[in-house]
Structure 1
Amino acid sequence: MDLAFLQPLYEGDAPVVSVHLDTSRAAHDADKQIELRWRAARRSLSEQGAEEADLSVLDEVAGGAPELPGPQGEALFASAGRLLGAFSLAEPPAADSARVLPVPDALGVAIDRDHQLPHVVVAVDREGADVEAYPAAGQEPASRRTFNGSTLHITRVRGGAEAQASYHRRSANLWAENTGQAADDVRAAAADVGAALVLIAGDPRAVGLLREHLGARPPEGDAEVVYVEGGRTDASARESLRAAVDSAMREAMARRHQDVLERLAGELAGGRALQGIPAVKEALAEGRVETLLMAADRSADPLLFASRRDPRVLGTEPAALGEDPTAFSAPAAPLLLRSAVLGGASFTEILPPVRCTDGVAALLRY
């Protein structure tokens, strides 16, 4: 997963306030619970020495996305009286957290985004299609295309055999035209978000025609086309589609992680990958890391030492940075992630049952 979206978090040299909250709205008193969580986080941040200007900025945005149902979380970052970033999380954090550190504590955001894929959801029938394009981590579509072709001749015909045959020919032509337009919409939507998945459901015949159009000219890039249950006809069909999309997304995410982790195992055996904090921090300093891999549990992380001058350089002792007046210390995970973001590396979570030394590994560029 590309980490470039995190770069704005690293602008400036002032301490950064990082907050991760559960903002799920399943309970009837969810708004009150979220308010209490933020109050507890704010109190903790104040005790850690957070500036009131940063807390005031977060007061204005804390609370998640009220319009989104179901489980969710949020991650907020502020520094020098300025909001650096606010992210909706597809899943609530395992526990609320609030930290004041010299750098952002953004691993939770990286892991949440790593579990998501840009995708297109298509519900098609004989009259047209609903095509929605979702960026990675997008709770709402970046674009929505709804096409309803001419319904002329798509009515019950009461005439004889000749009229019936004429009706079916006209209907077949119209279905083909409508699914041709739908295919154009799908290709455009996939390009909008750089889709990794295109998920298609609906009327079996319309789906078959759409399959033919997309087979003849697939969406650009490496988007995988997956056919799922559901449709656009009524609330039940749309609910079935949403459940099928969620299931297909989870399966796709698991496959992609498995591919990376299998590659890691092979590269470690061949000496083209590293594991453990000491080895990985050196590779990050040298700009050799293609992909940083970290497990979510960072409870055993040591402190590392870093520099404002060169964000890639990390040390286990202050002496490693010489007489650098900009040197500071912070837990390993935020510093490793900072080096990866500013060094142009990508990220993948180490999922159980895979284990690496210190819960850290790296695939190397060279």
Structure 2
Amino acid sequence: MVKACAARAFRACPPAVVAPRGDTTRAVPDADERIATRWRTTRRTLAEQGADDATLEALDATVGGVPDLPGPQGEALFAAEGRLLGAYTLTEPPASDLALSSPLPDPLLLAFDRDHQVPHVVVAVDREGADVEGYPAAAREPSFRRTFNGSTLHLTRVRAGAEAQASFHRRTVNVWSENTEQAAQDVRAAVDAVGAEVVLVAGDPKAFGLLRDHLEPLSARLVKVGGGRTDAQARAALREATDAALHEISAESHRDALRQLEEALAGGRALQGIPAVKEALAEGRVDTLYMAPPTGTQNVRLFASERNPRALATDRAALGDDPTVFEAPAPLLLLRAAVLGDASFSEILPPTRCTDDVAALLCY
């Protein structure tokens, strides 16, 4: 997801790209008025930077975030030549609004935001069926939703003689298994629809076991969480358990990535520092680019070319007489070179530290 959204921003790059971003949180008093006021200020700044009327009007029709989204949110927009190039919801609002009209789009904040999101499926399952919802990365509302309520016949055991009781028991198990098999089909469809990395399952323990049996080889992605589908309280508990599980899954993923980086640095399979990393990017040897959120490195500038976006230099003359050479912040150009070279991206988090706040895991 990080690679895809950043690559689209960089590849759809007309001569001038307008890229506002801001806080679009709705869960505050007078949210619409606040958002409109901030947009008017941002719009004036963009106009002063040279943004044309047609492009600003294209943003007018989009700016404002997702009206029904609960909790904090932000947005990052990209537009040029009178058309919208991309509109992305941020799970955390930016520290401050930004208005930027420049030849190069700036998806850095978007990349860091997406790096912490996990595409996932949430399943609330019981003996009668399941509610299945698929969430792409950074989405608070599902893009895939199915509810299945199968047969309830024979699901309640009866008091009878041994033979009759055994017969009803077999029918109960068969119907329960059939219902869960249908739910498993919905789960598979949801996983494919959103590219889910994990399936969070709540509900009856036996239904969980049956669902896991029906979901081979996806069963390795299943995680049991609290909550259920019976009432509003159970669904609220499910949402809370889901958020907690996703936070831990993302944190563990980053811990694994940083352990891999530290081992690779010790074994000579990774590089750190802007000079070494930019050369590896130019040579197409980077598997994953690691960066900490820009602080001091934002002031470091590099030169790049539109003809060869992976070639970076500290001296303009190093890129020859190419008329498309331009200068931009180092973190932005490193990210651009990485995604256009089909490399992945991950954030450097404390306590890991790297020279210039940048490192690269090598392909070979």
TM-score range, shorter chain: over 0.9
The one-letter code sitting in structure 2 at the alignment partner of 1:8 is R
Deviation sequence 1:246-293 (CA, Å, 0-9, x none): 111111111111111111111111222111112211111111111111
**Identity, % of aligned positions:** 63
Distance 1:151 1:132 in 2: 22
Contact 2:297-2:331 at 8 Å conserved across structures: no
Contact 2:297-2:330 at 8 Å conserved across structures: no
The yes-or-no answer on 1:136 pairing with 2:137 is yes
Distance 1:13 1:35 in 2: 27
Residue among 350, 353, 357 paired with 1:352? 350
Q: CA deviation at 1:67?
A: 1.6
Contact 1:128-1:148 at 8 Å conserved across structures: yes
Aligned partner of 1:297 in structure 2 is 294
The one-letter code sitting in structure 2 at the alignment partner of 1:313 is A
Contact 1:101-1:330 at 8 Å conserved across structures: no
Aligned partner of 1:319 in structure 2 is 317
Contact 1:13-1:308 at 8 Å conserved across structures: no
TM-score between both structures, scaled by the size of structure 2: 0.93
Deviation sequence 1:111-162 (CA, Å, 0-9, x none): 11111112111100110011112222333323222211112234585x6456
Aligned partner of 1:203 in structure 2 is 204
Tell me the secondary structure at the aligned position of residue 20 of structure 2.
Answer: strand
Change in Cα spacing, 1:34 to 1:299, as seen in structure 2 (3 Å) is: farther
Aligned partner of 1:63 in structure 2 is 64
The one-letter code sitting in structure 1 at the alignment partner of 2:224 is Y
Distance 2:200 2:316 in 1: 51
Aligned partner of 1:114 in structure 2 is 115
Contact 2:2-2:114 at 8 Å conserved across structures: no
The one-letter code sitting in structure 2 at the alignment partner of 1:331 is P
Contact 2:13-2:104 at 8 Å conserved across structures: no
Range moving further from structure 2, 74-83 or 42-51 = 42-51
The yes-or-no answer on 1:253 pairing with 2:254 is no
Matches within 5 A, 1:77-156: 77-154=78-155
Residue among 260, 268, 273 paired with 1:271? 268
Tell me the secondary structure at the aligned position of residue 3 of structure 1.
Answer: helix
Contact 1:2-1:345 at 8 Å conserved across structures: no
Distance 1:81 1:321 in 2: 32
Q: CA deviation at 1:66?
A: 0.3
Q: CA deviation at 1:2?
A: 5.3
Range moving further from structure 2, 318-327 or 5-14 = 5-14
List gaps (5 residues or longer) in structure 2.
Answer: none
The yes-or-no answer on 1:286 pairing with 2:287 is no
Aligned partner of 2:239 in structure 1 is 242
Range moving further from structure 2, 249-258 or 91-100 = 91-100
Tell me the secondary structure at the aligned position of residue 98 of structure 1.
Answer: coil
The yes-or-no answer on 1:5 pairing with 2:2 is no
Q: CA deviation at 1:101?
A: 2.3
Contact 1:102-1:330 at 8 Å conserved across structures: no
List gaps (5 residues or longer) in structure 1.
Answer: none
Distance 1:332 1:13 in 2: 21
Aligned partner of 1:172 in structure 2 is 173
Aligned partner of 2:217 in structure 1 is 218
The one-letter code sitting in structure 1 at the alignment partner of 2:269 is R
Q: CA deviation at 1:317?
A: 2.0
